[in-house]
A and B are shown apart, each in its own frame.
Chain A
């Protein structure tokens, strides 16, 4: 409201703005700085030093060279992206029909259906991931069911598990855990998008001779694009840097970049290296991040 006066307007913008600058943007600059710094046993050397009347800047790019050359790091980046992509596709495959059927269910039922999707989202994420551990280890409920129908042989054949009966700590358990955790993030934006759709468009398509399938692909899907993008980004970006799920459900072969960063920091105590990993991770997600924020801004503009 313009009537709030300049002082009110200034405070409303400045307080959250300043907070984000100090606690969100500034930390990134610190990380970028440390990633090119040298470490002396316990302290980080300053990269800019005022010495003998001259400004000396020492930036060490050794960490980045190592990241770019070491096979292990490169493979970790590639597999993080691959796991995140597979998870996103699976979430979309399960979530789109799910959200679609929710949005087309009886009006009176929809609040309840929506709440049932939100409820797991409200219960502890950590505990829900932990729950899969019990379900997938030997003699676990889901493990037994999978073995009973012989699905484990198919999974072993496509290389998601090392052999029949070994489901835990494999690419399979990791993908299952990530899909499970992030599915509501896909369903919710899709649902809110699909629920708003003008159904008369479909009637018009039917009047013009399109069958239900054509109408779905040529009207419903294009109209729900913003929901698809929002959902896909909400799944993909956090998945790339996921730490808890690979740590609890992944195995030795499922190295992910979030875990690499964690190990560099907590186990190896190599802060500059951890920072270099963080910077490259940001670079990895910056394009999807830009798509996400543009999509959000567009949705805001349309709603306004």
Chain B
């Protein structure tokens, strides 16, 4: 179908406006972080003083340290649980309670976070009460561990989606061939399956890492005294109004993410091309 010139112009304009809508706030955040004015939305000249003040910002630095720890732990565990869940869904499909399972895996993707946060917290509080009655100490105490539980619930759901999408495109014959050639099932997993889903695992890791680093609601419910993550610090400042320190932090985060995503997707695209080529060669009929 050949689109007319008018149609093509309309399509381009729609895309351009859409991208502008997505990017204007991000660009504004960055630009205003260099604004020499205590009111970030009125331009008064260039400055770096908001950045210079950041290392002194104890609250924010402590929040960042905690957030990074939780994010790494969340990403690692999410990839493991997500991969298991994806295997269960794609390879075994029908098993006892599989409908409930697939429902529970997908639900955290859309379930309002206030519900997940509240219910997880109250379950943990009940658990605390039980352990307190039994052993005299209430575990788990609210803090890093409980925040991790919450983030893992969300991260696992996202990791499952990413890994499942990849597993579905795999050619099962490659694994069967390895089994026929005498490989043990765990060897097949490490030597055949894992290299093929490696990129998906990396994407899942990065995605769950950023999700955890960004979460406000679950952390608010599950954090305890002295365990304040960076988004909680930012949120409490943003609630009170505009704050230049938030813009400076935002710019640093955006820079990291943009560089990270561009580099990662470049590497992924390159290895994907190589893998497609390898697979095509492997599946080519002999002769």
Kindly state the separation between the CA atoms of A281 and B14 in the bound complex, as whole angstroms: 36
Chain A residues with CB below 8 A from B112, complex form? 237-238, 240-243, 258, 281, 285
Kindly state the separation between the CA atoms of A240 and B109 in the bound complex, as whole angstroms: 14
Q: Known: A17-B97, A126-B235, A244-B235. Is A118-B261 also a contact (CB below 8 A)?
A: yes
Chain A residues with CB below 8 A from B214, complex form? 124-126
Which residues of chain A in 130-177 are interfacial with respect to chain B, using CB atoms and an 8 Å cutoff?
Answer: 130-135, 137, 139-142
Q: Known: A16-B88, A26-B123, A303-B168. Is A124-B217 also a contact (CB below 8 A)?
A: no
Chain A residues with CB below 8 A from B261, complex form? 115, 118-119, 122
Kindly state the separation between the CA atoms of A19 and B258 in the bound complex, as whole angstroms: 33
Question: What's the least CB distance linking A271 to chain B, in Å?
Answer: 7
Chain A residues with CB below 8 A from B105, complex form? 16, 20
**Contact: A243 with B175, CB < 8 Å?**
no
**Contact: A133 with B103, CB < 8 Å?**
no
Kindly state the separation between the CA atoms of A45 and B111 in the bound complex, as whole angstroms: 28
Kindly state the separation between the CA atoms of A20 and B234 in the bound complex, as whole angstroms: 30
**Contact: A128 with B24, CB < 8 Å?**
no
Kindly state the separation between the CA atoms of A199 and B1 in the bound complex, as whole angstroms: 9
Q: Which of B28, B106, B185, B254 contacts A135 (CB 8 A)?
A: B28
**Contact: A241 with B113, CB < 8 Å?**
yes
Q: Which of A17, A30, A134 contacts B119 (CB 8 A)?
A: A30
* 0/1 interface trace, chain B 18-49, chain A, CB 8 Å (1 if under): 11011111101100100000001110000000
A142 (CB) vs chain B CBs: closest residue:
B24
Tell me the total A-B contact number using a CB cutoff of 8 A. 253
**Is B269 located at the chain interface by the 8 A CB criterion?**
yes
Which residues of chain B in 87-124 are interfacial with respect to chain A, using CB atoms and an 8 Å cutoff?
Answer: 87-93, 95, 97, 101-116, 118-120, 122-123
Q: Known: A97-B14, A127-B250, A303-B168. Is A135-B114 also a contact (CB below 8 A)?
A: no
Question: What's the least CB distance linking B157 to chain A, in Å?
Answer: 9
Q: Which of B115, B175, B231 contacts A124 (CB 8 A)?
A: B231
**Contact: B118 with A265, CB < 8 Å?**
yes
**Is B242 located at the chain interface by the 8 A CB criterion?**
yes
The size of the chain B interface, using a CB distance under 8 A, is 93
Kindly state the separation between the CA atoms of A239 and B168 in the bound complex, as whole angstroms: 30
Q: Which of A3-11, A57-65, A67-75 contacts B (4 or more CB under 8 A)?
A: A3-11
Question: What's the least CB distance linking A48 to chain B, in Å?
Answer: 13
Q: Known: A4-B185, A137-B41, A206-B1. Is A300-B168 also a contact (CB below 8 A)?
A: yes
Kindly state the separation between the CA atoms of A16 and B98 in the bound complex, as whole angstroms: 12
**Is B257 located at the chain interface by the 8 A CB criterion?**
yes
**Contact: B14 with A278, CB < 8 Å?**
no
**Is A12 located at the chain interface by the 8 A CB criterion?**
yes
Q: Known: A238-B110, A248-B239. Is A20-B120 also a contact (CB below 8 A)?
A: no
Chain B residues with CB below 8 A from A98, complex form? 14-15, 18
Q: Known: A199-B1, A274-B118. Is A134-B28 also a contact (CB below 8 A)?
A: yes
Q: Which of B81, B110, B231 contacts A233 (CB 8 A)?
A: B110
Please classify the interface of chain A as helix (H, G, I), strand (E, B), loop, or mixed, using the class held by over half of its residues: helix
**Is B162 located at the chain interface by the 8 A CB criterion?**
no
B14 (CB) vs chain A CBs: closest residue:
A97
Q: Known: A3-B185, A101-B11. Is A27-B92 also a contact (CB below 8 A)?
A: no
**Contact: A183 with B265, CB < 8 Å?**
no
Chain B residues with CB below 8 A from A282, complex form? 115
**Is A117 located at the chain interface by the 8 A CB criterion?**
yes
Q: Known: A134-B40, A183-B22. Is A292-B122 also a contact (CB below 8 A)?
A: no
Which residues of chain A in 243-266 are interfacial with respect to chain B, using CB atoms and an 8 Å cutoff?
Answer: 243-244, 247-248, 258, 261-262, 265-266
Please give me the 10 A-B residue pairs with the lowest Cβ-Cβ distance, nearest first. A241-B112, A27-B119, A131-B25, A27-B123, A16-B85, A237-B110, A101-B11, A134-B41, A127-B250, A20-B104
The 10 listed contacts between A and B (C-beta, < 8 Å) are A9-B92, A12-B92, A17-B88, A19-B81, A24-B107, A27-B116, A134-B41, A237-B110, A238-B111, A285-B110
Chain A residues within CB distance 8 Å of chain B: 1, 3-5, 8-9, 11-13, 15-17, 19-21, 23-28, 30-31, 34, 94, 97-98, 101-102, 104-105, 111, 113, 115-120, 122-128, 130-135, 137, 139-142, 180, 183-184, 199, 202-203, 206, 212, 233-234, 237-238, 240-244, 247-248, 258, 261-262, 265-266, 271, 274-275, 278, 281-282, 285, 289, 292-293, 296-297, 300, 303-304
Chain B residues within CB distance 8 Å of chain A: 1, 3, 11-12, 14-15, 18-19, 21-26, 28-29, 32, 40-42, 81-82, 84-85, 87-93, 95, 97, 101-116, 118-120, 122-123, 126, 149, 152-153, 156, 164, 168, 172, 175, 179, 185-186, 188, 207, 210, 213-214, 216-217, 220-221, 231, 234-235, 238-239, 242, 246-247, 249-250, 253-254, 257-258, 261-262, 265, 269
Excluding A126-B235, A137-B242, 20 further A-B contacts by CB distance (< 8 Å) are A4-B185, A16-B81, A16-B105, A17-B88, A19-B156, A27-B119, A27-B120, A31-B115, A98-B14, A98-B15, A113-B15, A115-B262, A119-B261, A126-B231, A127-B246, A130-B234, A241-B114, A243-B114, A274-B118, A300-B89
